[in-house]
């Protein structure tokens, strides 16, 4: 059985960074035992998967936190790749209500055709759980402009992973992630940026300090975060909390059990 792995297919977190592909936006891949999960496939998910050697045919589930395009734009393309255009109906789509059912203002991102390409489509809200193979996925609360946005607490046989998705600070969120081994936070802004609905470095440090995971990874950077030097922001969180903190890079691969990190890149990439 292969070692568990988390692969970052992108770390971009706003329309400028993603629009120019200063950082990619293909989502996060989690491989555990023989199961592969694809979280929040944004624009370019297929391109980044190919670039970093991830076979989307191995996906058994696509998890989508909310209906902002950086998180859901490529859900249909990824489902199409994993099911060969519906010839091999397989896997599960787990999304928040807005992505699956739409809202008063927005149609659902998930097309009718691609609903038929997976075995199950599940819409969940904060506090609800889904079991897929030997992994339990629980939706966590957020404070975001898609009010139904969820994060994920992923309980596997060898580790517990938390993914905040897009959110501002909230006490409920802190409670939902207590006990995770590894916490991935979407930190859009550098320190002391006021945004009720997205994290800055300072808010992230507060969450990390209260949750106390074993390892922290930050990702989903907005343009100010990229320009302000992500590494210095990471050091701030580590200094404030005394918890090891890593800045994700496009193509970064981490073993969530040993915490060994390496960069998987097709060629020498001077932009990382």
Q: Which is nearer to Zn ion, 36 or 142 (CB)?
A: 142
The number of helices, as runs of H, and strands, as runs of E, in the chain is 10, 16
Q: Which is nearer to Zn ion, 18 or 81 (CB)?
A: 18
Alpha helices in 6-158 (DSSP H): 15-19, 45-51, 69-72, 75-83, 97-101, 112-115
Q: Which is nearer to Zn ion, 25 or 233 (CB)?
A: 25
Q: According to CB under 5 A, which one of 14, 51, 166, 203 is a site residue for Zn ion? A: 166
Residue with tokens 């969450």: 207
- Shortest distance in whole angstroms from residue 197 CB to Zn ion: 8
- Shortest distance in whole angstroms from residue 57 CB to Zn ion: 28
Q: How many CA atoms lie within 13 A of 66 on its CB side?
A: 21
- Shortest distance in whole angstroms from residue 162 CB to Zn ion: 17
Q: Which is nearer to Zn ion, 197 or 259 (CB)?
A: 197
Own/partner long-range contacts of 227-235 (Cβ < 8 Å, ≥24 apart): 228/190, 228/191, 233/187, 233/190, 233/191, 233/201
Q: Which is nearer to Zn ion, 31 or 165 (CB)?
A: 165
- Shortest distance in whole angstroms from residue 168 CB to Zn ion: 11
Scan residues 54-73 and list those touching Zn ion (CB under 5 A).
Answer: 68
Q: Which is nearer to Zn ion, 83 or 198 (CB)?
A: 198
Q: What is the DSSP string of 186-255?
A: EEEE-TT---TTSEEHHHHHHHHHHH--SEEEEE-B-HHHHHT-HHHHHHHHHHHH-S-EEE--TTEEE-
Alpha carbon distances (Å) from 270 to 27, 80, 267: 21, 31, 9
- Shortest distance in whole angstroms from residue 145 CB to Zn ion: 6
Question: 3-state DSSP call for residue 124?
Answer: coil
Beta carbons within 10 angstroms of residue 187's beta carbon: 33
Are 125 and 132 in contact by the 8 Å Cβ rule? The answer is no
- Shortest distance in whole angstroms from residue 144 CB to Zn ion: 6
- Shortest distance in whole angstroms from residue 51 CB to Zn ion: 24
- Count the residues of the shown chain that bind Zn ion, applying the rule CB under 5 A: 2
Near Zn ion by CB under 5 A, which window of 8-16, 122-130, 160-168, 216-224?
160-168
Scan residues 68-127 and list those touching Zn ion (CB under 5 A).
Answer: 68
Residue 202 binds Zn ion (CB under 5 A): no
Q: Which residues bind Zn ion (CB under 5 A)?
A: 68, 166
């Amino acid at each position: 059985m292969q070692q568990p792995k988390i692969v970052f297919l992108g770390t971009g977190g706003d329309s400028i960074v993603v629009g120019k592909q200063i950082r990619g936006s293909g989502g996060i891949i989690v491989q555990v035992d023989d199961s592969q999960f694809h979280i929040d496939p944004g624009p370019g998910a297929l391109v980044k998967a190919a670039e970093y050697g991830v076979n989307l045919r191995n996906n058994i589930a696509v998890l989508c936190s909310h209906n902002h395009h950086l998180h859901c734009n490529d859900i249909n393309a990824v489902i199409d790749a994993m099911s060969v255009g519906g010839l091999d109906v397989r896997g599960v789509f787990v999304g928040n209500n807005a992505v699956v059912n739409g809202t008063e203002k927005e149609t659902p991102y998930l097309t009718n055709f691609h609903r038929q390409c997976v075995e199950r489509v599940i819409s969940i809200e904060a506090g609800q759980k889904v079991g897929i193979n030997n992994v339990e996925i629980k939706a966590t609360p957020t404070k975001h402009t898609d009010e139904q946005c969820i994060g994920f607490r992923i309980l596997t046989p060898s580790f517990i992973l938390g993914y905040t998705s897009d959110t501002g600070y909230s006490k409920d969120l802190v409670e939902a992630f207590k006990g995770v081994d590894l916490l991935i936070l979407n930190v859009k802004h550098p320190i002391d940026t006021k945004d009720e609905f997205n994290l800055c470095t300072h808010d992230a440090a507060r969450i990390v300090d209260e949750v106390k995971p074993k390892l922290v990874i930050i990702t989903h950077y907005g343009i100010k975060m990229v320009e302000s030097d992500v590494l210095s922001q990471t050091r701030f969180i580590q200094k404030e909390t005394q918890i090891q903190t890593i800045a994700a890079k496009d193509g970064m691969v981490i073993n969530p059990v040993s915490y060994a990190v390496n960069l998987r890149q097709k060629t020498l990439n001077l932009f990382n």
